[in-house]
Every structure is written in C-alpha cells, then in structure tokens.
Structure 1
Amino acid sequence: MQGDPMSSIVGAVLWMIILIAIFYFLLYRPQQQQRKKHQEFINSLKKGDKVITSGGIVGEIKGIDDKTVTLKVAEGTMIKVLKTAVSAPYEEEKKED
C-alpha cells in the first residue's frame, strides 16, 4: 500500500513555504530594515556632525555633496569619502572621575 501521491506533493510544498517564510523573517526582513535605517541616517547628515566611516576613521563633516562627504579628521586635514562609507554617528566616551 502506498500513500496518496497528492498528499506528499502538498506536504513538500507546505514545507517549502515554511522554509521560505523562515528565511524571510530571520534573514531578509531584518537586513532590509537595517538598510532602510542606515539610508535614513545618511539622508539626515549635516555639517558639524561627528561620524565614523566604515574604515574606522572619525571626523567632523565640513561639506556634503550628492554622493560624497568632506570630513575634517585632524587640524588642516580634510578627506572626501562616499556618503555610503559613513557608518554611524560618533559619540565621545564620557570619562568618569
């Protein structure tokens, strides 16, 4: 006696749908939300903000173009990086006495 072939196909399709849903909610959706949050951060950049680049460079924004940001990294030293290379705002650590 063999099982109904239709029920095995339905079972396989159901498992595939479950796996796709797990993949979506555990991997794709959080990454999409993180990308959206980073894009909002990039759009909110303004002169005077202190930021960290993806390479770990800390600097103050002195100029902003459509695709680039000019950072002051030291006295008299300016660098130009892509906006997408700016990864986070820089907050100095507070020293406790």
Structure 2
Amino acid sequence: MFASPAYAQAAGGGFGSGIGGVIPFVMIFAIMYFLMIRPQQKKIKEHQAMVKALRKGDKVVTAGGIVAKVVKVGAEGENEIEVEIAAGTKVKLIQSTITHVLNKTEPAK
C-alpha cells in the first residue's frame, strides 16, 4: 500500500541539483546585465560628461522643459549653474537637471 522508505530515498537528484541548478540563474543575471545595467551605466557616463562640458553661453534644456542660456558655471566642486530663462531673469539650477545642450559655444581663444 505505502511506499517503503527504501523506495522513497532512492529517487535521487538529477540535473537540477548541484551546478545544473545554478546555471539558469547565472545566465539570467548575465542577460540582465548586458541588456539593462550596462546601457544605463553608459548613458549616465555620457550625461555626466555633457554636464561637465557646459560653458557660459550654451543653450540648454532643463528637466522641466525650460530652454535657457548658461550665464555662470560654478567651480569644479560645485554642482550649481546659473541660467537666464528670459531677459534679466536668472535662475540657479543643479547641473544634473540639464537634459540636453541645444547650442554649444566655441571655446574662447
């Protein structure tokens, strides 16, 4: 009627136990890394380089959709810039809120 303990213990591990059970998880992580994590890191580096290259006179778009002209860029350690959104209207922004640079100015000689 009932299975004896010997038969119950005989059903052993196959491919699912040991290293065979870990391989799918490693493959899923590798796929997620190359499809999601790595492109995001590349995008972040490009954005940081764009923000670091901002100069006085550049025309930029903020995260809020405001088109402005850079009036003053803070020192290396500061993360604030001053932009002019209208004639005589200057606003301080955090550099990371700049999403696009529309017009780059040429460096002064």
Fold conserved between structures, TM > 0.5: yes
Give the drift of 1:89: 0.8
Give per-residue Cα distances to partners, 1:16-71, cap 9 Å, x unaligned.
01000011011100000000000000110000000001111110000011211101
1:31 aligns with 2:40: yes
SS at match of 2:72: strand
Aligned match of 1:49:
58
TM-score (norm 2): 0.76
Q: One-letter code of the match for 2:73?
A: I
Residue number in structure 2 paired with 1:90: 102
- 2: distance between equivalents of 1:8 and 1:46? 59
Mapped to 1, the partners of 2:34 and 2:72 lie a distance apart of 38
What secondary structure, in the 3-state scheme, does the structure 2 residue paired with 1:45 have? Answer: coil
Q: Give the partner amino acid of 1:39.
A: Q
Q: Any idea what SS the aligned residue of 1:69 has? A: strand
TM-score normalised to structure 1 length? 0.85
Aligned to 1:95: none
The residue number in structure 2 matching 1:71 is 83
Deviates more, 1:8-17 or 1:53-62: 8-17
CA RMSD of aligned residues (A): 1.5
Q: Extract unaligned runs of 5+ from structure 1.
A: 92-97
| Counterpart Cα distance in 2 of 1:51 and 1:40 | 14
For 2:70, what is the secondary structure of its paired residue? strand
Runs of 4+ in 1 over 2 A off after TM superposition: 1-5
- Secondary structure of the structure 2 residue equivalent to 1:90: strand
Give the C-alpha shift of residue 2 in structure 1: 4.3
